[in-house]
Homo-oligomer: A and B are copies of this chain.
């Protein structure tokens, strides 16, 4: 018997759970009569649900007979073996020889899934979409989380753990509970609590938010009737029961995805160690059905945010399933009518993320499965290019880049660079797939775009790339210039000018979001400017920690104070205090301090280039699909232990072969 998996029409599982999560957002509203209610919040882009019908098949020769057993989550399902149909829960004997097996079904309220016990015909990715279907030939969808026949594909496999509050105190006529740090889960009323009837509960990432009940973002209305009741799963650290003197006891049922933090980092600076832990915790809270932006407000999956989460993941958990899930959720289904999340840069980054995934994991199956979707999305992009074949802004494009002020009415330089990067990524994927004509086409497009970018957007007076050439304003921001460094899209001379005129020029507005700090610091580290990196770790991330942050914020401006820190988008507490895009130090420390990077896809070969940066000692692990690579470095010696062949330790320009499973130690 082979290990069977639940299988479905490709993408169904991800679109189903993506649809649910996109529709879970609420916002709290105060009405004219003073009442405050939590109201459903409509998603900002088209939500694609899964197909309710599916038909998959497999054709194979078997040397010896096998008994297959057919199960489905649908009542309306059929397995057809060599032309004869059977209902679910049938056992069928397949004699040695050639067989053709179709599974089909319909499920109105979710999506059809199938489970076939067997040997050669056990259900897995080798089942493909049937010829009658318009996506004929694509491989069945599956998840590594759903391999047991008792698994319910409609129920996402979170785990739950009871967490008690660390304190409880009366305040403003109510009761405030503090769970000590930000968590995500259900708030449960203890059985022993007094019967209080109905009560409004107000949540807060900060205690100010929880008790400021006219403005707190999240709330729940509880009706207590002598039994344990709980809220839906939400994000909070503080829980406030307004206007009550009843004896209420609560706990939280933490809801989480059991991702193993296989990555690790320690150094002789305890603040940095703490920071790494806070980043890891932030990341784990946001790792759910897919990678979330933040756990409080929208709890949606955004492609730009996810792109960074993928990279952090390769240095923290290296979980392949969550990257695949997130990628599929973001892609949605056909027809593509708008950019992913309506944001053009996010579509470009979606393509880039797939190459990174393949490069870090070597998962060619997934690349193969998602490749047609990449081509379709590139067709969509190309259908909207300008006459000069460069990106042109359309009325329904959201041009994001970052929360910052740009000269952005015309086509922006940063967008062109991301589109160019998408072509680069697609070209590399095409090479792996063996789609030569696409690889060649992408190469030409990249060459052309780099030339055009340097022609249209470089301003010699400013010694920098400008946001946009159409307005004549010649406005310079950091963003496009950072991309030029990071993606290597200009000459060495121009790079030096950028570093001088933009990066180290205090008159150029600094980056305020951890989102773009990610790119800035990646570029700086790549150029060897580690001081800039460690300064930023201290001032920016350290700044949040010194204000008591238990998770990394959506944005941080050290010039603000008190509850000013929590304001965003015009709302007193709309800022998310647990935002995944703040976890970049994990990626940066893993890549540049521990120095582990693949040089061939899936660590078929790799290098380890440890760098103490500003530390005296570092030690850690980088997860790979084949296990963790351990690195330790101090002023005296460097050690590496790896479970993978073809590794090279590089230190002071010298290369040392790393033998699999043998600790390599060299003098520093």
Contact surface of A with B, Cβ cutoff 8 Å: 19-20, 23, 27, 29, 31, 37, 39-47, 49, 51-53, 55, 74-78, 84-87, 102, 104-106, 108-110, 132-134, 334-335, 337-338
Contacts and interface: CB of A to CB of B under 8 A. Distances in A.
13 contacts: A20-B108, A23-B53, A23-B76, A39-B87, A40-B74, A40-B77, A42-B105, A46-B134, A47-B51, A49-B49, A49-B51, A49-B108, A108-B110
Given A42-B104, A47-B106, 8 more contacts: A19-B52, A19-B53, A20-B108, A29-B86, A31-B86, A47-B51, A49-B51, A108-B110
B108 A109 contact: yes
Given A78-B39, A335-B335, A132 B86 contact: no
A132 B44 contact: yes
Contact of A27 (B27, B42, B85): B85
A132 B85 CA distance: 45
B134 A40 contact: no
A132 B338 CA distance: 10
Given A41-B78, A85-B29, A335 B338 contact: no
A80 to B, nearest CB: 8
Contacts of A109: 108-110
Nearest to A30: B84
B31 A84 contact: yes
Contacts of A19: 52-53, 106, 108
Contacts of A37: 86-87
A342 to B, nearest CB: 8
Contacts of A44: 132
A43 B75 CA distance: 15
Task: Give the one of A40, A49, A132 with max B CB within 10 A.
Answer: A40
A87 B55 contact: no
Nearest to A88: B40
Contact of A39 (B20, B53, B86, B337): B86
Contact of A53 (B47, B86, B134): B47
Contact of A337 (B40, B53, B134): B134
A116 to B, nearest CB: 16
A589 to B, nearest CB: 40
Contacts of A39: 78, 85-87
A469 to B, nearest CB: 31
A110 B110 CA distance: 10
A23 B84 contact: no
A138 to B, nearest CB: 14
Task: Give the one of A77, A134, A334 with max B CB within 10 A.
Answer: A134
A186 to B, nearest CB: 17
Contacts of A134: 46, 337-338
Contacts of A29: 84-86
A77 B42 CA distance: 8
A85 B105 CA distance: 39
- 6 residue pairs, one from A and one from B, having the closest CB atoms: A109-B109, A42-B104, A23-B106, A335-B335, A134-B337, A39-B85
A596 to B, nearest CB: 42
A90 B44 CA distance: 23
B40 A47 contact: no
Given A23-B53, A52-B19, A133-B46, A106 B40 contact: yes
A55 B84 contact: no
A52 B49 contact: yes
A77 B40 CA distance: 6
Nearest to A47: B53
Contacts of A76: 23, 40
A47 B52 contact: yes
Nearest to A136: B396
B23 A42 contact: no
A286 to B, nearest CB: 22
Task: Give the one of A27, A55, A87, A334 with max B CB within 10 A.
Answer: A87
A85 B29 CA distance: 7
A638 to B, nearest CB: 54
A22 to B, nearest CB: 8
A338 to B, nearest CB: 7
Contact of A40 (B20, B23, B43, B104): B104
B87 A40 contact: yes
A43 B53 contact: yes
Contacts of A53: 19, 23, 42-43, 46-47
Nearest to A83: B29
A339 to B, nearest CB: 12
Given A84-B29, A338-B134, A105 B40 contact: yes
A52 B19 CA distance: 9
Nearest to A105: B40
A218 to B, nearest CB: 15
